[in-house]
């Protein structure tokens, strides 16, 4: 999944979805920040449960000119039909990077 914005992502909540009676889906997510087509920073978070966990991406504030973000995931094990699903919520942004201030 990817998205474009002129703002700096400072954090987002992730969780594994509940599939039937157990957690399913992805076991890890990585958010990568891009300036043009160049990856400049990334943050990785292990997903172990259906309880949402905050991913702190405030390190992206140290980069100027970020315009795009990509979220990659590591699929979970087993025979689950939906190995790559994850929940993402409450994306938090800053209007400028620290470098721009």
Task: For 33-43, write each residue's pLDDT tens digit.
Answer: 999 999 999 99
For residue 71, the cross-strand partners are 31
User: SS3 for 30?
Assistant: strand
Reported as a pLDDT band with limits 50, 70 and 90, residue 50 is confident
Reported as a pLDDT band with limits 50, 70 and 90, residue 46 is very high
Q: How many domains does the chain have?
A: 1
Report yes or no on 30 lying in a domain. Answer: yes
Q: What is the pLDDT of residue 1?
A: 83
List strand residue ranges (DSSP E) for the chain, in order.
2-4, 8-15, 18-19, 22-23, 28-35, 38-46, 53-56, 68-74, 87-94
Report yes or no on 17 lying in a domain. Answer: yes
Report yes or no on 32 lying in a domain. Answer: yes
Report yes or no on 88 lying in a domain. Answer: no
- Residue written as token pair 């699903």: 85
């Amino acid at each position: 999944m990817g998205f474009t914005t002129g703002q700096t992502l400072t954090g987002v909540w992730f969780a594994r979805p509940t599939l039937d009676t157990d957690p399913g889906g992805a076991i890890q997510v990585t958010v990568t920040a891009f300036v043009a087509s160049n990856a400049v920073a990334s943050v990785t978070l292990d997903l172990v449960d259906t309880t949402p966990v905050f991913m702190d991406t405030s390190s992206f504030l140290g980069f100027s000119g970020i315009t795009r973000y990509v979220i990659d995931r590591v699929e979970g094990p087993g025979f689950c039909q939906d190995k790559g699903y994850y929940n993402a919520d409450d994306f938090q942004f800053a209007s400028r990077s620290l470098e721009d201030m």
